[in-house]
């Protein structure tokens, strides 16, 4: 069962574990909103070490404002970037701790 | 600048040169590496998962990662994975490498093609 629904505002965990991870460095700590729930898949971070990756993990397409992702972003104000992220990398956006506007 | 916790391959957002979009051909050995990985990962065998291939490539270290070509990275990772799984041994591999090298020196084609 997917924990988040389309429209939910989420923050990517700011974690830097060694080993094989599927969350790009540039998006860690950034906040966006769930665009789509893509289904559940064996965890690639486990498969990478020869294990079965079960239970399957929900995968989300999360949309971010480019201006929130890059400090020096000079493109259009409404530009977004979609990143596919596994559930264990996401937390519900905490409005008390964050000041940026997540959505358009 | 090197950022803490960022692995070399994780390059998103860093400066990069222009993308070389020129068409290029693949030598036979590259096709064999590709075929080898397909056979090792297919549903019948499931010996090396594509995620394990990636993990091996990411573990190459920044110098090798930069220096090696695409399929050189693949074969390095396939080799590491096969060693870890006990499917081949370093000794076996070392001996075979000498054998192949000697054959090459003796003028035999490595690819089995006529020269």
**Alpha-carbon torsion, ordered A74, A37, A2, A102, to 10 deg:** 20
pLDDT digits (tens, 9 = 90+) for B15-38: 888 988 999 899 999 999 999 999
pLDDT digits (tens, 9 = 90+) for B65-94: 999 999 999 999 999 999 999 999 999 999
The domain ranges of chain B are 28-105
Is position A99 within any domain? no
Q: B28-105 maps to which CATH number?
A: 1.10.472.20
Q: Which domain holds residue A88?
A: 9-92
In chain A, residues with a C-beta closer than 8 Å to the C-beta of B52 are 47-50
Backbone angles phi, psi at B63, to 5 degrees: -65, -50
CB A65 within 8 A of CB A104: yes
Residue A13 burial (CB count, 10 A): 15
Nearest to A48 among B5, B12, B52 (CB): B52
> Looking at the DSSP assignment, which residues form a beta bridge with residue A39?
A59
- Show Cβ contacts of residue A63 under 8 Å, excluding neighbours closer than 6 positions: A32, A33, A34, A35, A80, A81, A82
Q: Which of B10, B47, B48, B49 to mutate to test the interface with A (most CBs of A within 10 A)?
A: B49
- ipTM, interface predicted TM-score of the complex: 0.85
Q: Do B55 and A48 touch (CB under 8 A)?
A: yes
Measured N-to-C along each axis, helices B90-105 and B70-84 cross at an angle, to the nearest 10 degrees, of 140
The tally of domains found in chain A comes to: 1
Positions of chain A with pLDDT lower than 70, given as ranges: 95-104
Is position A103 within any domain? no
pTM: 0.86
Instruction: Compute the distance between CA of residue A14 and CA of residue A98 in angstroms, rounded to an integer.
Output: 13
CATH number of the domain encompassing residue A23: 2.30.30.50
Is position A1 within any domain? no
Instruction: Compute the distance between CA of residue B41 and CA of residue B50 in angstroms, rounded to an integer.
Output: 7
Ramachandran quadrant class, B61 (left: phi over 0; alpha: psi -120 to 50; beta: rest) = left
**Alpha-carbon torsion, ordered B69, B70, B71, B72, to 10 deg:** 40
Assign B4 a pLDDT band (cuts: 50, 70, 90): confident
> What is the pLDDT, as a whole number, of residue A1?
83
Instruction: Compute the distance between CA of residue A53 and CA of residue A58 in angstroms, rounded to an integer.
Output: 12
């Amino acid at each position: 069962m997917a924990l988040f629904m389309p429209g939910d505002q989420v923050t990517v965990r700011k974690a830097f574990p060694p080993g094989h991870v599927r969350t790009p460095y540039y998006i860690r700590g950034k906040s966006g909103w769930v665009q789509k729930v893509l289904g559940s898949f064996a965890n690639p971070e486990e498969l990478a070490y020869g294990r079965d990756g079960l239970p399957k993990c929900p995968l989300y397409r999360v949309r971010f404002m480019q201006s929130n992702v890059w400090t020096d972003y000079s493109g259009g104000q409404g530009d977004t970037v979609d990143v596919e992220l596994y559930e264990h990398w996401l937390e519900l956006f905490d409005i008390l701790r964050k000041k940026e506007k997540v959505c358009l | 600048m090197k950022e803490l916790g960022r692995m070399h391959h994780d390059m998103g957002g860093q400066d990069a040169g222009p993308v070389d979009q020129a068409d290029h051909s693949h030598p036979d050995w590259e096709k064999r590496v590709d075929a080898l990985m397909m056979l090792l990962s297919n549903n019948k065998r499931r010996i090396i998962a594509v995620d394990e291939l990636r993990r091996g490539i990411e573990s190459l270290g920044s110098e090798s990662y930069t220096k090696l070509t695409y399929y050189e990275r693949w074969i390095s990772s396939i080799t590491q994975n096969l060693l870890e799984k006990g499917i081949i041994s370093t000794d076996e591999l070392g001996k075979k490498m000498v054998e192949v090298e000697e054959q090459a020196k003796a003028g035999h084609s490595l690819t089995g093609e006529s020269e």
